[in-house]
Amino acid sequence: MMNPIAALLIEILEIYKWIIIIAVIVSWLTAFNVINERNDFVRTLLRILYALTEPVLRPIRRVIPAMGGLDLSPIVLLLIIWFLQYTIRWAAFNYGM
């Protein structure tokens, strides 16, 4: 049985992973003009996703700039989240957290 705090942290990180994936997909859809940024719902969704992801992605973008127009910061962030989840699970099982 895992510590409830460790389980909560893992679930929060899992939800944040999905927020990052949704933000990437929405950015692609707006870049290819599939969805209209002038729509109120879309604009609100873009603001929410920007507010949730940009504070975490901005420091990564400073270290790893876009390469040929390809932003790798979401991939790096997903790898960091995976590492954190793995570390929390490992600590919870090995140290009884």
Per-residue pLDDT, 3: 87
What is the full DSSP assignment across 16-56? Answer: HHHHHHHHHHHHHHHHTTSS-TTSHHHHHHHHHHHHHHHHH
CA distance 83 to 1: 21
- Position 97 pLDDT exceeds 60: no
- Mean predicted lDDT score pLDDT of the chain: 93
Rounded mean pLDDT of 1-5? 82
Start-to-end Cα distance in the chain: 10
- Position 9 pLDDT exceeds 70: yes
- pLDDT digits over 17-64, tens only? 999 999 999 999 999 999 999 999 999 999 999 999 999 999 999 999
